[in-house]
Chains A and B, each alone.
Chain A
Amino acid sequence: EVQLVQSGAEVKKPGESLKISCQGSGYTFTTYWIGWVRQMPGKGLEWMGITYPGDSDTRYSPSFQGQVTISADKSISGSAYLQWSSLKASDTAIYYCARLSIMGATGSYFDYWGQGTLVTVSS
């Protein structure tokens, strides 16, 4: 069974750094792209970017380029990561990881989702 398990909720202060994770299991982790999706409080879904654990190729939405770093490790039961170097209050949101459905292809939809990680940034 495919599962994506995300790290727990975080409460941070503005200016702090943060790295959240998404561990995949039940499939060959290195052969499917993993993406991150933001959902701000009461708002819609925003596609942030995707990464391919097999070779670390990463694509960002222009809206998030330079604001976050997406990465993954290559181990078979590995994890994808989303990190910030300096958080802002406006980063408060739920962040979902999700798997792209077609092995090796960027042009595919999200078929499996993590449970979400709530990040709260407040002074």
Chain B
Amino acid sequence: SAVISQKPSRDICQRGTSLTIQCQVDSQVTMMFWYRQQPGQSLTLIATANQGSEATYESGFVIDKFPISRPNLTFSTLTVSNMSPEDSSIYLCSAPEGDGGDAEAFFGQGTRLTVV
């Protein structure tokens, strides 16, 4: 199974600032995914990050607010920009084990963000 390292594990940030979350996979993967989990809620996909192209954002999420980088096949970053208390959530990155549709989706440990 893939090992996904995510950091920071938690942070408390001032409103109006930005935080960049890093996600490192121990193997090369074509796609990486970023999710948000608001308090007491399920996971919502923010965007899909493909290496070598711009990220694909889901409805309700925009690049200006959540810019994503994908410089190589094992690494991605998600920035939460101009934060407000509503951005307080757990942010998780995910990568499939392989490129097939039946690949398990493995997740990083999550970043627990609190905006004050």
Indicate whether A and B interact: no
The chain A residues found within 8 Å of chain B, CB to CB, are: none
